[in-house]
Amino acid sequence: MRKKQYMQKKWLPKGFLFDFDGVVVHSFKSHGNAWSSAFKELFNKEIAPFPKSHAGKSPMLISEYYCSVIGKEKRAEDLYLLKDIHLDKHFTKPDLLPGVREFTSFLSEENIPYGIASNATRQFLKNSIKHLDLNFETYFGVQDYDKPKPAPEAYIKLANHLGFKTEDFKFIWVFEDSLTGTKAAKAAGMVPIGITTQYSEEELKEAGSIFVFPTLLEAYEYLTKI
C-alpha cells in the first residue's frame, strides 16, 4: 500500500549512483593517515596539508601533488603504490554519514538499481563496506577506469553495469560532494545532486548540481515526503 501511495504522488529517478568519500562516508582520516604514513616511510618527512582543490581527484594526481611539494615528482608512482598498501594494511574505518542506511533500504524496497563509483581504490571500498556493514553490492574503484573523474567513464560504466542504456542517463541521479565528481556526472548526461560536505551549495550548483542537500538523509526525506 505504501509503495502505491508513494508512486502516485512522487516521481522517482530510474537509478541512483553514489560517490563514496564525502557522500557515503567521511574518510579524511582514513586516507590522511595512509598518505601521511606512506610519505613518512618513503621520504622521512611530514606530509603537506591536503589541498581542497584536489578533493575527489584520483589518488595518482594527489600523489603527484604531495611529491611536487618537496620536488620529488618522479617518485609519485612510488608514493601512490605505497599509500595503497598502507590504506589496506593499516585500515582506518571511515565515519558513516547520515541517511545512508535509510536511503539504501528505501531503494532496495522500491527495486531501484544503485551503486558506487569512486576515485578511491576498490580495496578501500570493499573494506569500508564490509566493516560498516553497508548494503552496496555494486561498486567501482579507480582501478576500474581508464580515465577517472572528472571524466564521465566511472558513472557511465556503473550505469551500464546496472543495466541502463544511454537514453536512461537523464533519469539517473548522481550524488557527489566534489566539483570533480559533479563535472563527471554532468558530462555523463546524468543528474548531479550535490552533498555539502566539502563545497557550498553555490559552488556545487555552479559546477552543475541540480539539487543540493547537506547529507543523504535530507535527500532521502525529500524523496519520501508525501
Please state the domain extents for the chain.
2-27+94-224, 28-89
At 123 the pLDDT is 87
- Written out in words, the top-level CATH class of the domain with range 2-27+94-224 is alpha beta
Would the pLDDT of 9 be above 50?
A: no
pTM beyond 0.85: no
* β partners of residue 213: 195
Interval 165-175: pLDDT, tens: 999 999 999 99
The pLDDT-based confidence of 56 (bands split at 50, 70, 90) is: low
The pLDDT-based confidence of 8 (bands split at 50, 70, 90) is: very low
At 121 the pLDDT is 87
Using a pLDDT cut of 90, give the percent of the chain over it.
62
At 10 the pLDDT is 55
Please count the other Cβ atoms lying within 10 Å of the Cβ belonging to residue 223: 18
Task: Write a three-state SS string for the chain.
Answer: CHHHHHHHHCCCCCEEEECCECCCEECHHHHHHHHHHHHHHHHCCCCCCCCHHHCCCCHHHHHHHHHHHCCCHHHHHHHHHHHHHHHHHCCCCCEECCCHHHHHHHHHHCCCCEEEECCCCHHHHHHHHHHHCCCCCCEECHHHCCCCCCCCHHHHHHHHHCCCCHHHHHHEEEEECCHHHHHHHHHCCCEEEEECCCCCHHHHHHHCCCEEECCHHHHHHHHHCC
Would the pLDDT of 6 be above 70?
A: no
